[in-house]
Amino acid sequence: MKHLLISFFFTCSFLEASQNSALLFHGNCTTCHFETKSVSAPAMMEVRTRYLNAFPDKKDFVREMAEWVHKPNGERSIMQDAIDKYELMPNLAFEKDVLQDIAAYIYETDFTRQHSPH
């Protein structure tokens, strides 16, 4: 019974963290980065694909994406063509741990399978 309760609380904590990351993503990123459509910024599925190609390991992906969004820099960008087309992303002044949560959500989410309202 004790193991069942521990497992239940771990699962609930994981689900809550996952839901929080999804809320952070949808509440902040999709203003510019629609999931499958490029409008004022590249589609998130395109951003995710580029970062996965450059950083296939989750730890590296999360670190690099969070660092870049924390301090956008055209010289460090792996998406120079997107900067040329849409301009450099503004500095959004998010805490690094929030950006890491969002980046982990992006790493884990296949946006081609999501239903987007955009």
Residue 1 located in a structural domain: no
Residue 30 located in a structural domain: yes
> What is the structure's pLDDT at 4?
36
Domains in the chain, number: 1
Residue 9 located in a structural domain: no
CA distance 37 to 20: 23
CATH number of the domain at 22, please. Answer: 1.10.760.10
> What is the structure's pLDDT at 48?
97
Residue 118 located in a structural domain: no
> What is the structure's pLDDT at 83?
95
The tens digit of pLDDT for each residue in 32-59 reads: 999 999 999 999 999 999 999 999 999 9
22-25 LR contacts (CB < 8 Å, sep 24+): 22/105, 24/98, 24/101, 24/102, 24/105, 25/102, 25/105, 25/106, 25/109
Residue 6 located in a structural domain: no
At 71, the amino acid letter reads: K
- pLDDT less than 50: residues of the chain: 1-17, 116-118
> What is the structure's pLDDT at 30?
84
Token pair belonging to 49 = 């694909």
Query: What is the span of the domain harbouring residue 59?
Result: 14-113
